[in-house]
A and B are shown apart, each in its own frame.
Chain A
Amino acid sequence: MKRKFGAVAAALVLALAALAADKQSLPKDLPAYGPIKQLAAPHVTEVKLDNGLTVWLVPEAGFPKVAFTLAVRGGYTADPKDRPGFADLIAATVTQGTRNRSAKQVAEDLEAAGGDLSGNATPDSILIETSVLSSKAAAALEVFADTMQQATFADQEVAIAKSNLSSALQANEAEPSFLGRRALYHALFGEHPYAITSPTEESISKTTAAVLRTEYARRFRPDRTLLIAVGDFSEQNLLATVRASFAAWKSGGEAAPIETTKPASLVSKAIVYVPRANSVQTALYLGTLGPNRSAPDYAAARIGNALYGGMFGSRLVNNIREDKGYTYSPGARLTLNRETGVLVTRADVRNAVTGASFNEITYELNRMATTAPETEEVERAKRFALGSLALQLQSRAAVARQLANLWIDSLPPEELALQGQKIENVTPQDVQAASRKYFPAWRMTVVAVGEEQVIKDELAPFGLEFQKAP
């Protein structure tokens, strides 16, 4: 019922460049943009405890709430080779009870503080997050600390979690988005741990409470953990609670290896397809490796992606949605892992226009790679990107999440402000160079989820091999 697919409204600007508005194509009576207000990125206080725990505090006035994020280094990258997606199992069970609290008590104590504890694995981390009332922040922190130091992985809780993860995997395997992403990442990353998007049935069934306890000790360690608090709190008081509840935490035994290599760029020359009976659409994914946050052309690629398919007023959306009506949900994203970015174009299109849509997507990709962008669209994309940075600072939970992502990438909190400057400095020439490097259609690994015969008939004219996803 929304105009846009999965759009999240959020609102900032570090410094919007004064804009020479594209006056010709805009209505003559449209008022001009007003003066830019300078907006500073949030100030982060960093404290390091003796046990190595890093603490980032961002006190700010407003609603009486505090968002907490605990980030632990090592996600799917730290999973044992024979248990891909194990990080999901540990994230699902670490919140299910401690020596001091049953799983139900953990949930109830968090609820009493106005929160809900959720653990999630990412490729490079495990994140545990909640958002609670300021008046109950200390109580919530104690539950957090208890979870990080005293989790028990009770047999009964592990059995329930395994059964639920197995059912969730079954449920997910009915979703085109899950199937498409799994096939794409597998084709893009091969044996590299970034190929992992979920546990397998085998990795779930192999997991035992004993293995979880061992891995907990190897992975949940203060010197590999960052605690972030953003919101309405007294820095001094909160820090005292942090010290009281986390100071006794010690790293024990051998640490799990978490380092991973920079992945090689694999390009599948075949169309990878996932047969899905009764599909009335084909879900198309075109993906390739892109820059990570530290890469010199990261900002330029981000602007290129925005004007190609990231904005609503982008080339791709204008073409296959607003002009041709092939799809509701076209878009392109640059997703960031520590060692690499991933550029993904996605569109769910009705069966009969699968081939026509693929043709237009590859056309727009190759147009990015071979022709210079218009100055107007580069300026618009830059302002859009700067505004998005600002908008993402409006929610405490979103600030906490962004700070966690920077830390996982070994970047300082100041990077929040630097990102704005990097975007401002991007020139049309930078965008063209990044687009030539990242956007050629031949670089893309193509995944199609849908009716097998539709995919094969519709995409046959492109002369590519077909390869069934494993």
Chain B
Amino acid sequence: MSYGIGFRLEPEGRTGFAHLFEHMMFEGTPVAPKGTLDKVIEGGGGNNNGDTRYDFTEYIETAPVSALDPILWIEADRMKTLDFSPANLENQRKVVEEEVRVNVLNQPYGLFFAIDLPGLAFDTYPNKHNFYGDFKDLDAARIEDVEKFYNQYYSPNNAVLAIVGDVNAAEVFARVEKYFGPVPARAAPPRANVEEKPQTAERRSVQTDQLANLPALAVGYRMPPRRSHDAVVAAVVGELLHNGQASRLYQSLVKEKQKAVSVDGGLNWPLGNPFEYNGPTLLVSFVVAPENTQEDALLAAYDDVIADLGRRGPDAAELDRIKAKMRSDWYDQLEVPIQRASTLSHAVLFDGNADRVGSIPDEIAAVTADDIRKFAAQYLVKADRSIIWRVPASKPGDRK
């Protein structure tokens, strides 16, 4: 069940709220108190989770078909109303703050390539704020905020339900009608403008890391709008640069020049695949380097790779290889039913059409070497990028 709300549209002064709210969706309703949902789903042989991203929040359940009816019932139940409990909000605020600690504050690199890089690259609140939330904002959240957010965004008309498995479509539609049909639609707020003014110059920042042992570089290039041919080219470029041991950055930085230990990245990385977002996004590279690496030396090697792509583009064999890899990866993404359901629901949210999922391999196949060369020359330019260099703080007892 994907709702068309993510952290991009969460209110100012409430950073992290869309995700904190996601936790509140598991805290019970007047008829199914806290704990019921897990009992029903796990007791049905299944499991469940929630996930908040820039432009959607999804609630996923997977179980043997025998649990379909109770799962539909309980998913519909939390679309009607919630148990807006201040005590449960207090509890989940603590849980979310521990989540921020375990994933950000107590981790080397602290997701700086996902949190701080958009903060540097973008200028407006929706795109630049810390989606995990500043503690002062999380602490400021009130149960009234939870109720308001729910009423604004958690309506059936802002949701897409996808069901994949050993089921009969007509029967499932009838059941969904039975459980969800009575839930009334609610007026959704007008969509805020999330556009950015064009970037005019390269942005650079240096950070110190109290926990990491090795320096790391994050680079983010602003990307063309999602619904364009260039956005598909961007996806291919992201994979050419980052996907696997045959990728350009891995081969050049890790193998040939040995300036890097690992290379990650891509379009809309790391918070989704290259097709599931609905607003300004970046093509990101995250490179961990051996100790004592100098930023300039690493960046020069990185720039050689980017410049070559803009000058010559890929040859035919390289392009064929990456297309095969992307087709293969796309099938992997769709193989497990819950992942297929998730992907389908996002396509309906962002493209209005589940068929997009089936056409993506063909859209990728249509990208030419010339498309890639032109794209790299136009978009992978210094004036459109932001760079953070993160270096370990020197610590007593450092291994040198």
Residues of A whose CB lies within 8 Å of any CB of B are 1-5, 7, 9-13, 16, 19, 21-22, 25-27, 29-37, 39, 62-65, 103-104, 107-108, 110-117, 131-133, 136, 160, 163-164, 167-168, 170-171, 173-176, 276-281, 311-313, 318, 321-329, 348-350, 379-380, 383-384, 386-388, 390-391, 394-397
Contacts and interface: CB of A to CB of B under 8 A. Distances in A.
A326 B96 CA distance: 10
A311 B38 contact: yes
A379 B321 CA distance: 49
B380 interface: no
A384 B42 contact: yes
Contact of B211 (A31, A117, A278): A278
A349 B19 contact: no
Given A30-B74, A115-B328, A380 B62 contact: no
A278 B45 contact: no
Interface string B371-400: 000000000000000000000000110010
Contacts of B34: 322
A316 to B, nearest CB: 13
B68 interface: yes
B35 A391 contact: no
A3 B26 contact: yes
A132 B42 contact: no
A137 to B, nearest CB: 11
B305 interface: no
A27 to B, nearest CB: 5
Interface string B91-110: 11111111101100111100
Nearest to B25: A3
Contacts of A36: 64, 66
A255 B325 CA distance: 37
B115 to A, nearest CB: 11
A174 B110 CA distance: 12
A1 B291 contact: no
User: A5, A21, A111, A117: which has the most chain B beta carbons within 10 Å?
Assistant: A111
A352 B350 CA distance: 43
A215 B239 CA distance: 35
A312 B321 contact: no
Which of under 10, 10 to 19, 20 to 34, or 35 or more describes the interface residues of B?
35 or more
A384 B45 contact: yes
B35 A318 contact: yes
Given A278-B210, A312-B47, A117 B245 contact: yes
B237 to A, nearest CB: 16
Residue of A13, A64, A176, A328 most packed against chain B (CB within 10 A): A328
Nearest to A106: B245
B335 interface: yes
A19 B43 contact: yes
Interface in B308-335: 317, 320-322, 324-325, 327-329, 331-332, 334-335
Given A63-B335, A280-B105, A116 B244 contact: yes
A315 B77 CA distance: 25
A26 B332 CA distance: 37
A312 B212 CA distance: 31
A312 B60 CA distance: 14
Contacts of A278: 210-211
Nearest to B72: A31
Contacts of B23: 3
Nearest to A165: B261
Sorted nearest first, the 7 A-B pairs with minimum C-beta distance are A387-B45, A114-B328, A325-B94, A313-B38, A328-B99, A107-B245, A174-B108
B324 A136 contact: yes
Nearest to B50: A3
Contacts of B48: 312
Nearest to B32: A27
B43 A108 contact: no
A57 B71 CA distance: 35
Contacts of B97: 350
A46 B334 CA distance: 29
A16 to B, nearest CB: 6
A360 B249 CA distance: 47
A68 to B, nearest CB: 13
B46 A11 contact: yes
Nearest to A276: B211
Contacts of B77: 27
B213 interface: yes
A9 B52 contact: no
A32 B243 CA distance: 46
Contacts of A2: 49-51
Nearest to B62: A11
B174 interface: no
B22 interface: yes
A455 to B, nearest CB: 14
A323 B87 CA distance: 10
B46 A387 contact: yes
A348 B101 contact: yes
B251 interface: yes
Contact of B65 (A34, A167, A324): A34
Nearest to A348: B102
B34 to A, nearest CB: 7
Given A65-B332, A383-B45, A167 B98 contact: no
Given A3-B26, A65-B331, A103-B255, A13 B60 contact: no
Nearest to B107: A175
Interface stretch (B199-207, B220-228, B336-344): B336-344
Contact of B324 (A12, A114, A324): A114
Given A3-B22, A13-B45, A168-B261, A37 B38 contact: no
A281 B98 contact: yes
Nearest to B64: A13
B53 interface: yes
A395 B340 CA distance: 12
B229 interface: no
Given A1-B51, A114-B324, A167-B288, 20 more contacts: A9-B338, A11-B165, A25-B39, A107-B244, A111-B325, A113-B328, A114-B329, A115-B328, A131-B328, A160-B255, A276-B211, A279-B211, A280-B101, A311-B38, A322-B35, A325-B91, A327-B95, A348-B98, A348-B101, A383-B42
B108 A27 contact: no
Contacts of A388: 45, 47
A174 B322 contact: no
A116 B69 contact: no
A13 B66 contact: yes
A168 to B, nearest CB: 6
B182 to A, nearest CB: 12
A33 B70 contact: yes
B105 A107 contact: no
Nearest to B320: A112
Contacts of B63: 11, 387
Contacts of B45: 13, 16, 383-384, 386-388, 390
